[in-house]
Amino acid sequence: MRLLEERGHDVLAAGLVPELARLDDPILFAVAQREGRLTITHNSHDFPSVLGEWAEAGRRHCGCIISYVPTNAYAEMTRRLDRWFAAFPANAAWIDRAVAL
């Protein structure tokens, strides 16, 4: 989280907000969309289906990064996030975009 904040991103960590921490993934993703937030998740097991459901329903989203990088591999995660944010620096570029980290 800190690495994103240091780069000027407005970050909300769902696991640190009690009302959000207990939400199921589809509901949490919907909340992020209502708030206009790009979602970054390590839940590579469930989020592809959440994104698939949104696509099938024709719903737009603010973007999603699914991380396959271990949560303790900060340097690698930072390098990959920096690469994606350099490629797509504007929020509008993330609309309906889902990428793997």
Q: How far apart are CA 21 and CA 90, in angstroms?
A: 28
Query: 45-79, pLDDT tens digit by residue?
Result: 989 999 999 999 999 999 999 999 988 888 898 89
The fraction of the chain above a pLDDT of 70, given in percent, is 99
**Of 4-8, 46-50, 80-84, which gets the smallest average pLDDT?**
4-8
Average pLDDT score over the chain: 88
DSSP label at residue 4: H
**pTM of this prediction?**
0.87
Q: Using an 8 Å Cβ cutoff, are 99 and 68 in contact?
A: no
3-state helix, strand, coil in the chain (%, to 5): 50, 10, 45
Indicate whether 10 pLDDT > 90. Answer: no
Q: 51: Cβ–Cβ under 8 A, 6 or more apart, which residues?
A: 61, 64, 98
Confidence label for 2 from pLDDT (cuts 50, 70 and 90):
confident
Single-letter amino acid, residue 24: D
